[in-house]
Amino acid sequence: MIGHVDADCFYVSAERVRYPHLQGMPVGVLGNHGACIIAKSYEMKAAGVPTGMPIWEATPICPKGVFVKRDFRWYEALSRKMLAIVQEASPRVEFYSIDEQFFTTTEHTQEFAGRLQGEILQRVGVPVSIGIAPTKTLAKLISDSSKPFGCGVIHNDRERLALLRDRPVTDITGIARRSAKRLAEHGIHTCEDFANADRAFVRWLLTKRGEDLWWELNGTPVIPILIARPRHKFVSRGGSIGKASCDPQRVHAFVVRNVERLVEALTHYRICCDSLILTLLFTNEPERSLRSSLLGSRADFEALLEAAMYLLPRVWQPRSAYVHYMHVIADGLRPLANRQRSLFEQSQLVDIKHRINNEMGRFVLRSGATLPLVDVYGDAANEYDICDIYGKSCF
């Protein structure tokens, strides 16, 4: 059997661990620039505040709300404690995300799930919901349906079908809005409809990934527990730049910052890339994205910045467009140890920068082009990077 542990409102719960007076209050956790709500308590959700809403729109809706700035360093510390407890209960644990883990188990009773739940609450202080089922997809569905602070176990087909009945297909991890729309065109609206659909038809419509989910919903495990990090397909850095801007200096500074973050990630994972992609999202124009091939496989700041600067004026069209989001993406990844070095590379400066920042603190030594970002580097909350989570695996 497979278990799924999912923290309830994790960021808010983590804040309540160190600030107990927040218990029972409507709490919103703010993102990088202190503007948008990236997580909320059940109390704030009940007041009608959605994730992603700016604080100035949320305050009139929930005047008693308390808003705190995110602290990913703290969340990671609690997440590691949760992981250690689950690893005590199971020899095979998949670190699925900062607040979720899958694990194999020979115990599949409500009592076992309740004991694990109580252990995490007592030792970490974070409430979790737990689901146990024959497959990962069913385990996640049952833990989601047990929130908040509940446990659910599927032992037989009767309980499986009861879980799937009347539940929208979008509740299945892997079925996003576009897939749901395609399924709806063929009369498939609920998880039960999906499980009862013709398997070959599902594969034709949603490829092998859809077929895997069909098997999982019908109780046959085909998606394995991954106890090791899968290889990266690409590495990306970016996100919101705060208030949308068409200021060339500010947009340029954010590109440089994200290239520095990207190099930091590539160095950490000892990989390099063959090409770089720059994507800009605008408030008043469609999203644009372009790729630049690199001269060999690279992971150094100079080469990636040169590629990004080549792309920037070509992606930023027209220049009057307001940029509010960007991604710098390393593609064509390969191990750093296997790459062919260029005769013209000057690794000494990169190594010195890396060594100083490791010893003195992140971004102590950084490009002068990022100096205009006083709001970013003046905020200690930006010293830690949630994008250290790749895909669904981190640490």
pLDDT of 124: 96
pLDDT of 354: 80
Residues with active-site annotation: 100
CATH superfamily of domain region 75-218: Reverse transcriptase/Diguanylate cyclase domain (3.30.70.270)
Residue 218 has pLDDT above 60, yes or no: yes
Render pLDDT for 34-49 as a digit per residue (tens, 0 to 9): 678 889 999 999 999 9
pTM: predicted TM-score of the whole model, two decimal places: 0.78
| Paired tokens of 176 | 């996003």
Helix (H) or strand (E) holding 298: strand 288-298
| C-beta neighbour count of 254 within 10 angstroms | 26
Q: Given phi > 0 = left and psi -120 to 50 = alpha, else beta, which region is 242?
A: left
In percent, the amount of the chain with pLDDT more than 70 equals 93
The candidate with the shortest Cα–Cα distance to 102, out of 72, 66, 133, is: 133
First to last CA, the chain: 26
Pairing of strands 27-30, 66-69: parallel
pLDDT mean over 91-106: 92
pLDDT mean over 92-108: 91
pLDDT mean over 80-97: 93
pLDDT mean over 24-38: 84
Note the CATH architecture for domain 235-388: 2-Layer Sandwich (3.30)
Residue type, 105: T
Render pLDDT for 284-330 as a digit per residue (tens, 0 to 9): 899 999 999 998 888 888 899 999 999 999 999 998 999 988 999 99
pLDDT mean over 113-136: 96
Counts of helices then strands in the chain (DSSP H, E): 14, 12
Domains 75-218 and 235-388 share a fold: no
- Domain ranges within the chain, ordered by starting residue: 8-70, 75-218, 235-388
Class of domain 8-70 (CATH, top level): alpha beta
pLDDT of 223: 93
The candidate with the shortest Cα–Cα distance to 2, out of 170, 184, 165, 224, is: 224
